[in-house]
Structure 1
């Protein structure tokens, strides 16, 4: 019987389905019949123009002042008159889509169900201009049932959603262009500002200011050990008579002063109190036991998923969203950009069934749990993030399909979803107060009577069972009036110092933004990454630390454009975008108010962006704006931080010094500024004087490492010398420096009367006799080498390419593992694989286990990181660190990464797009000589500098079969110029290549879209 999907295909002819990503396309294709072609747009296909040169000559808009914005600002936004262009890297994919459109009788736009997805569909419609029926497909999970259901109820494009996305894009362009330009002129070129980005940065900066203002306070606590016949317990002193004993939370963080009504104990007083109370009678004064029900957390929204992944997995928000995107496009979870905590009826049924099967009927609540959204303007039509389908895929099955790393996030989602439909946990909380004379001690305990949802999921913990054990702290049976014995030691005093407020992590920053109504599910990860990319903050462990540059930027915005970083104003702007998306507000008043006429707020008037910038542009002094004053030194010199064109530096009086990139602003004090300047002064001072020439000797750290300089800058003659490999610059003496500057040095005449000289080289020190060179052994420097050592090296047969074996390490799987010295330093090899040995490894202590670890790590690195599967070929796409930089390969084609792309930013969609548009076919390998098959014990190691493991034959004759002879091509007099191309990674365990007679039939070639040649 034909499915409804097949019926649709037959009735309407061939249908073209367009989605955003190749992975999503491949998954959907599995659920559709032969009458459907599924292609990807690979994200947005066009964007606002950035410069007038992007427009063709003769376009009258090139002369408009507003062309840089990509939107007409002269029409007072009565219409949204943007200028869109298709970027060059998107043109090949647009060509593919247009070609596919030619044979389609129907088009389905199946992009994501949010503003960005709706806008992508609108742009596709505008660019492709299909002449056949075009409908919008909407689904929140990529399952067979969801796809078929969407096909039965397609809809038109939602103009309200599109208008909201276009409005947001225009606002961000106006804000980003004009405010960023102001920062360029007043602080430093290359800076940027953003509608939400700048507000997020303010949150980080405000926390750093709190830390800088923080005044620490010392306090002490007293702890008593008590015992019953059943067990012991420990309690903390909380009161003396009617006066509360102070703890850390009772001190003002900005002054360090104690709040009124609290008794401050220092360590001496606390120790004296211990001596007074020791041995005095102790009895239970009060026992208070209360039952408590703990409810499970609701299913994940985008922000709570990012927060929990940050806490549990230590993942930044961007990594979480990349993994969630892959899980969604592979059909394992529902749509990952949502602020709803709703679950569908089928999801609730699936979760309750799993609870009953895995934990028992007692863990299933009588009624399904339904959660209320606490986020303003939550999209109720969306579901929470949950496992996809009517039956949730087992965690082990997902791990086998996507790998253990991605499966960790799926496990988190699976457990949270299931736990959200489990019974409450029942616990008992007990508080006990113990009287010792006029002192009151307090302790508490908790016992879980019924684990409920805690059996499956505990927030912030990877192991629910262990978390349950850790949460319970049972007290022995106690009643009021019961006498207690003293434990050992009976009393102890503990000294404490109050700590500054913790910096915000990814999770804390996202929660703060969400609580203030700023940002939306699709933006949080991009906001955080933008702050890091612009060097407005950096990571220290899990914390986000604002840089001094970030502090300066926020101060300028607060001083001159405060509403642009005002939390309430930004939240109201976000709410109005939501209203535009639902058709309850119009874009004209929104954009006019923001850019031209301004807004009424709190009884005052906020200027539009144009008027605001005009009013402050001339008032801002660049020198003042780029300076953070720290204070004055003891001798009256002003200390300040300056943001310069080439980086951040401190200035103390007339002296300056660069500031490290990881300088924490709350530690940037006058004392720290003086320390940096003094360190620079020491580096500028010579380590001594050469007695022969009278010139100063300097130790400097340059672009290529530490080096010595004989003679001052600006002098007539200077001489530089690199430090030998392994020299510690901190331990360098003047004597060693002078000997290093004297290199090369003659050791004496060698055999044959030719002098042997010692040299310091970039890849290690060496000795030379005529044109012949030998590397000095590791740990022997040219300044210490002797004639005997040099002659001994030349007495040995010359190793090929400057290589020689140092020693055999051991045997492994029938191969000899050895340590060799090569042109670029020491390395280990098993005859097939090579691995460099780092300078901090003790070569004498290097054993077989260490060598094998090095070889395995090198092999894994050479084979590359698997990014995902290629939907065209089914082969893994690998990211490999090549000789000329990282590149991608699927075995058929290779492609280098785009300039400026970081390997940790690469997504599967980006890799597929790069291979399709810029991939070059892998160069075919020539026939291998006998005995040189990859992976054989006699194969020569592939890395340059590896030792030969079999005697090399000179002009070995190639065996020629009769068939080969008959089909051999005649030689030509001129050879075509070879084109060097990146090679696919060699598999060290691959068998020898088959002969032509036994070679399998060639596989169909991967479809490659060529990028147009440009000059």
Structure 2
């Protein structure tokens, strides 16, 4: 008896086949096999029918038209062939909505005539596979409906809204149900940073002593009034309403210095002492969202990289399914964790009863267990280290530690807080000052021995706790020293991937399983870029967000988007009809216009207004076809000056002063250097998209002669040449320009071939026939002699560099490969490498400011690109010879 088992990936197929008998044949569909085609790819007879716009019939129940993807036709044919020899079909795709939909599409495409069983499991171990074989079920059409509704929603939103962006902002842009809202979150945070007004404030720290023990305490109040700290100020630069009501006092530099000086040699009295028991519970096991957050904090992995590694760990049987909202652990998992705690840490670290965690996430229905090590017995990190790559091991170790720690005892201890009152001598403005300090003593570490949860950066971090001596109320302490310290309020911190994922989950936007692809999409589309771990929106994101906020506000409304997710959960639970929901969303319902009506009612959108962001009343940023630029308007409302916005300046850094500096430094208009001697054309230095260059200025009445002496119908084209990197557009001369325009420079013949010197895309080089050699500098183009060129051509061609140069900087160990990361200067510019993967540093980034975090992110992004290309590193395309003949085995039939 032959049984065909179909899973999604080859890795999963290999692992599962090892647990099944010879009668089972395990094959991979390699993801989805069917999808909605682009309308342009529809059959000719459907391009004018009800499916023409979306490949979905929005007039008849939102019926989708699916086709087998072109790259999956061969796979489907292969599966059909295997199915002919099978007695049973097991659809063993993932147990979430996406996996259920893949199984449904397989069923529709293969049309099996043998019994079909739906087989689900959340871990790939022998025990789990055997249990799954004995507990098969029917296909869950409700889960399919939910996934199908999500796919159709995304198609409707994308195809209705994206064309609007193409017309009013820029071509090739995209809008999405979740990506547009995510972009808005990042843009809104940047707006808050742009509106933020920094304020200076001061505090005082004193060193108190009891016998030989010293500790620090911070000033918290003067004359019964609390001293202001950073969080008391609003973004406007003023004290917040709560601080004003409480009568908070702001210390200036003079006040702080005077108070600090008046404390020297004085004493303080312990006026309040409070001791409380300290108890801290471990964090629950990982969900998809919390795994992405912790991997970002601790391993510096992007959400996409985290999910890629987790997928590999799952498919190879190391962890349970990695797309889940649940924090619940099975009885087998709890037993395995408790066994390892007792064996590795001791019985005192094991609670009397297992811990039970309850999922707080709204609508958590993706899977039934948290992410944990696979199996009824957990493999320790030491047992798997030799079998895993560095990145896989790091993530497995993180998951193992979190799972084991979640079943361990609480950390326990005592927290002591003390208040010390000082009466300054000689401080005219202060008669009483109160200092506070706190310290925690851990008497039993509990779960901290195994794992401690990371935290996102906070706007105002709490002061580090002090190690306090034994103190009593009324005790007199000596002031050993004091200092005043100035501070400046901080703007709201930018989102990191970890904090953005956390916010999306808290607001109920999208699903944790889609966060990685959402963040990757807004990055790849040019809406967001990374600076270290921070996510910075581009000016393009500002324009797109503004257009949607002003014209289609529902699509970027957080509550509306979260409600859409809730409705999809209701469809998955069988509580709502798929067609009715899509009908209300697109066509509308009583009292509410649907997406179709909202888009149809849009008037003429002012593209100039949408693409304009005000910096000052007279300076704006404009999002243009070739990128953002500054535009200064004079009193008459006309453009006065213009300059491109440098790519390394974040939106909140583009202040009025910075904008003025950029406009002043930019080349304001074409500078005429003089006339070239042959035709008398003016030579001008200009500022272009790729930097300054010189060009001939061809008059409108200029004519071009053909080789026979006749007047050509085409106008002469101006010669142009980029300035050398060492040239300044403000000081370049006519002589310099004529030299540049004369390139390529001929050095004469060598063995019947002309030797020429020129500046190319990748720098200066000389060429003789088919031979070429790179030059060391641009200036060499005009100084190298024929003899020097011939000597250089005699040397063997070297790809890259003749000798390895030392790295420009070192960044430590990469958490994925475990190898040292360095910055190097290559033929095509600076790049970071771990010896296995090379990642170019964008030209907009200053290599002198490149951080370790940024270097690791560049490598992670490069690895992802390689993975998406099937593990193949793409090479630069080369033009095929035009004379090459097409080789075919048979003649093409007409």
TM superposition shift of 1:690: 8.4
State which of 860, 885, 905 in structure 1 corresponds to 2:864: 905
Alignment check: 8 A CA contact 1:111 1:118 kept: yes
What CA deviation, in whole Å up to 9, does each residue of 1:840-890 have, x standing for no partner?
99xxxxxxxx99x999xx9x9999959xxxxxxxxxxxx999xxxxxxxxx
What CA deviation, in whole Å up to 9, does each residue of 1:168-216 have, x standing for no partner?
1111111221122222233333222222222222221221221122121
C-alpha distance 471-499 of structure 1, shift in aligned 2 (>3 A): closer
Give ranges in structure 2 of 5+ residues lacking alignment: 424-431, 457-462, 634-638, 703-716, 811-820, 841-859, 875-883
Deviates more, 1:362-371 or 1:505-514: 505-514
Residue 443 of structure 1 pairs with residue 437 of structure 2: yes
C-alpha distance 547-737 of structure 1, shift in aligned 2 (>3 A): same
State which of 464, 474, 477 in structure 2 corresponds to 1:481: 474
| Partner SS, residue 512 of structure 2 | coil
Alignment check: 8 A CA contact 2:745 2:781 kept: no
2: CA distance between counterparts of 1:338 and 1:165? 15
State which of 593, 608, 614 in structure 2 corresponds to 1:623: 608
C-alpha distance 780-499 of structure 1, shift in aligned 2 (>3 A): closer
Deviates more, 1:278-287 or 1:438-447: 278-287
| Partner SS, residue 308 of structure 1 | helix
C-alpha distance 24-682 of structure 1, shift in aligned 2 (>3 A): same
TM superposition shift of 1:380: 8.1
1: CA distance between counterparts of 2:196 and 2:825? 47
After superposition, where does 1:333-372 map in structure 2 within 5 Å? 333-372=319-358
Deviates more, 1:114-123 or 1:203-212: 203-212
Alignment check: 8 A CA contact 2:197 2:236 kept: yes
TM superposition shift of 1:257: 3.4
TM superposition shift of 1:649: 2.8
Alignment check: 8 A CA contact 2:745 2:757 kept: no
TM superposition shift of 1:310: 1.0
2: CA distance between counterparts of 1:862 and 1:628? 38
2: CA distance between counterparts of 1:216 and 1:372? 42
C-alpha distance 528-772 of structure 1, shift in aligned 2 (>3 A): closer
State which of 265, 275, 285 in structure 1 corresponds to 2:251: 265
Structure-2 residue corresponding to 1:168: 150
Structure-2 residue corresponding to 1:63: 48
Alignment check: 8 A CA contact 1:425 1:452 kept: yes
Structure-1 residue corresponding to 2:492: 501
Alignment check: 8 A CA contact 2:676 2:683 kept: no
State which of 25, 28, 39 in structure 1 corresponds to 2:16: 28
Structure-2 residue corresponding to 1:998: none
Deviates more, 1:406-415 or 1:667-676: 667-676
Alignment check: 8 A CA contact 2:210 2:469 kept: yes
1: CA distance between counterparts of 2:309 and 2:339? 27
Alignment check: 8 A CA contact 2:686 2:694 kept: yes
| Partner SS, residue 69 of structure 1 | coil
State which of 809, 827, 846 in structure 1 corresponds to 2:802: 827
Deviates more, 1:585-594 or 1:15-24: 585-594
TM superposition shift of 1:369: 0.5
| Partner SS, residue 657 of structure 1 | strand
Structure-1 residue corresponding to 2:712: none
TM superposition shift of 1:622: 2.8
Residue 310 of structure 1 pairs with residue 309 of structure 2: no
2: CA distance between counterparts of 1:207 and 1:313? 25
1: CA distance between counterparts of 2:255 and 2:372? 56
| Partner SS, residue 173 of structure 2 | coil
Alignment check: 8 A CA contact 1:690 1:738 kept: no
Alignment check: 8 A CA contact 1:419 1:453 kept: yes
2: CA distance between counterparts of 1:430 and 1:224? 18
What CA deviation, in whole Å up to 9, does each residue of 1:764-795 have, x standing for no partner?
77899x999997985794478587xx76886x
C-alpha distance 632-685 of structure 1, shift in aligned 2 (>3 A): farther
C-alpha distance 380-782 of structure 1, shift in aligned 2 (>3 A): closer
TM superposition shift of 1:113: 0.3
1: CA distance between counterparts of 2:789 and 2:594? 78
State which of 270, 281, 287 in structure 2 corresponds to 1:284: 270
2: CA distance between counterparts of 1:111 and 1:429? 51
Structure-1 residue corresponding to 2:583: 592
Larger radius of gyration: 1
2: CA distance between counterparts of 1:472 and 1:245? 19
Alignment check: 8 A CA contact 1:864 1:880 kept: no
Residue 540 of structure 1 pairs with residue 531 of structure 2: yes
Alignment check: 8 A CA contact 2:50 2:59 kept: no
After superposition, where does 1:123-138 map in structure 2 within 5 Å? 123-138=105-120
Structure-1 residue corresponding to 2:853: none
C-alpha distance 434-309 of structure 1, shift in aligned 2 (>3 A): same
| Partner SS, residue 581 of structure 2 | helix
2: CA distance between counterparts of 1:747 and 1:191? 45
Root-mean-square deviation (CA, aligned residues, Å) is 4.2
TM superposition shift of 1:749: 12
1: CA distance between counterparts of 2:165 and 2:493? 29
State which of 427, 430, 441 in structure 1 corresponds to 2:416: 430
Name the TM-score, length of structure 1 as normaliser.
0.72
State which of 72, 92, 101 in structure 1 corresponds to 2:83: 101
C-alpha distance 735-431 of structure 1, shift in aligned 2 (>3 A): farther
Residue 200 of structure 1 pairs with residue 151 of structure 2: no
Deviates more, 1:711-720 or 1:232-241: 711-720
After superposition, where does 1:542-621 map in structure 2 within 5 Å? 542-598=533-589, 605-615=591-601, 617-621=602-606
Alignment check: 8 A CA contact 1:109 1:121 kept: yes
C-alpha distance 565-746 of structure 1, shift in aligned 2 (>3 A): closer
1: CA distance between counterparts of 2:196 and 2:187? 14
C-alpha distance 52-65 of structure 1, shift in aligned 2 (>3 A): farther
C-alpha distance 142-758 of structure 1, shift in aligned 2 (>3 A): closer
C-alpha distance 443-471 of structure 1, shift in aligned 2 (>3 A): closer
2: CA distance between counterparts of 1:546 and 1:112? 35
Alignment check: 8 A CA contact 1:267 1:495 kept: yes
| Partner SS, residue 622 of structure 2 | strand
What CA deviation, in whole Å up to 9, does each residue of 1:224-271 have, x standing for no partner?
112222311111111112111111111122343363101111112211
1: CA distance between counterparts of 2:455 and 2:189? 26
2: CA distance between counterparts of 1:748 and 1:485? 84
2: CA distance between counterparts of 1:598 and 1:190? 32
Deviates more, 1:234-243 or 1:140-149: 234-243
TM superposition shift of 1:110: 0.4
1: CA distance between counterparts of 2:809 and 2:677? 35
Name the TM-score, length of structure 2 as normaliser.
0.81
Structure-2 residue corresponding to 1:516: 507
Residue 191 of structure 1 pairs with residue 185 of structure 2: no
TM superposition shift of 1:656: 3.0
C-alpha distance 471-346 of structure 1, shift in aligned 2 (>3 A): farther
TM superposition shift of 1:623: 3.0
TM superposition shift of 1:555: 2.1
Deviates more, 1:409-418 or 1:225-234: 225-234
2: CA distance between counterparts of 1:681 and 1:325? 52
C-alpha distance 911-380 of structure 1, shift in aligned 2 (>3 A): closer
2: CA distance between counterparts of 1:331 and 1:447? 41
State which of 625, 628, 633 in structure 2 corresponds to 1:648: 628
Alignment check: 8 A CA contact 1:136 1:156 kept: yes
1: CA distance between counterparts of 2:176 and 2:443? 51
Residue 401 of structure 1 pairs with residue 387 of structure 2: yes
1: CA distance between counterparts of 2:688 and 2:627? 17
What CA deviation, in whole Å up to 9, does each residue of 1:649-690 have, x standing for no partner?
33222243333445422334444444443333258446x668
C-alpha distance 359-472 of structure 1, shift in aligned 2 (>3 A): farther
| Partner SS, residue 263 of structure 1 | coil
Structure-1 residue corresponding to 2:663: 677
For this pair of structures, how many residues does the alignment match? 807
Alignment check: 8 A CA contact 2:324 2:370 kept: yes
TM superposition shift of 1:153: 1.4
TM superposition shift of 1:743: 7.3
